[in-house]
Amino acid sequence: MTSYLSAYDVKGKTALITGAGRGIGKGIAWVLAEAGVQCAINARTTRYVEPLVAEMRKAGYKAVSVIGDGTTQEGADAMGKEALKKLGHIDILVNNIGDAVLKPLVPLPGKDPKNVMSDVDVKYQMDINFMNAVYVCRALGPHLLGQGKGTVINIGSILADIARKNTAVNAGAKAALHQFTKALAVEWAPYGIRVNCIAPGYFPDEVTAGKEGVQEYVRLSKKEVPLKRIGELHEVGLLTLYLASDAASYMTGQTIYLDGGMTL
């Protein structure tokens, strides 16, 4: 009798997960590590990464830290070089770096004129939500193409599909990331590389949002999410695990909305 479930087995693979010291990236790292993937966990500083790596190693998982800033080509190149040095090769690349600056594009009538998206804010939003994936893919693309196998998983956002005030630049950057996923998937498919995207809904983390912030998301979810709850960080990890496995070997160029039904 044929068994198909072995296609979900990723044991022995390697992964670089950017921006993974906390939040969604941390959830992804834990799931992949538990599944037997050797994880290189990236962040710009050691603040959250080193304790996470120590905790994962204590649990018996294989993890290393890669400190670097993927929002510049120079930083992405250095990050990729260090990751390859520590892992030997990379099977799974997760472009998870992202952040939001919630401000109007220009001063709104009757509102605080100082509360507006600055030039620095605009560049930061584009760099961290879109260009980081471009830079990291440019850094590691030759390696992936050279080995003729691998998968790239970009972490997008529901903001690429739904409109919210004070998110114009962030939403534009994430929409660019979703289309980048499609185009790169077509470009790299002949060489054995799959490129997909996950667009999460409400996945708050106490480290980034605080307890009150998480409770606010819980309140919003009851109003805005058909499933009436927030997402758990490990749930993004479980979807990442599927996309990284051979079970998803016929899937590329797709953006999967993991949002409890928010974009329906």
Number of H helices, E strands in the chain: 8, 7
Cβ neighbours for 39, distance < 8 A, ≥ 6 positions apart: 14, 15, 16, 17, 20, 29, 32, 33, 56, 61, 62, 63, 64
Q: Report the CATH number at residue 207.
A: 3.40.50.720
262 occurs within a structural domain: no
User: Which range marks the domain in which residue 177 is found?
Assistant: 11-257
pLDDT at 199: 98
50 occurs within a structural domain: yes
4 occurs within a structural domain: no
pLDDT at 2: 76
b vs e for 155-191, b when ≥16 Cβ sit within 10 Å of the residue's Cβ?
Answer: bbbbbbbbeeebbbbbbbbbbbbbebbbebbeebeee
pLDDT at 82: 98
181 occurs within a structural domain: yes
Query: How many domains in the chain?
Result: 1
pLDDT at 208: 83
CA separation for the pair 23, 239 (Å, rounded): 15
Q: Is the dihedral of CA 209, 214, 215, 220 positive or negative?
A: positive
2 occurs within a structural domain: no
pLDDT at 1: 73
Does this model's pTM top 0.85? yes
Give me the residues of the chain with pLDDT under 70, please: none
* pLDDT tens column, 193-226: 999 999 999 999 998 889 999 999 999 999 999 9
175 occurs within a structural domain: yes
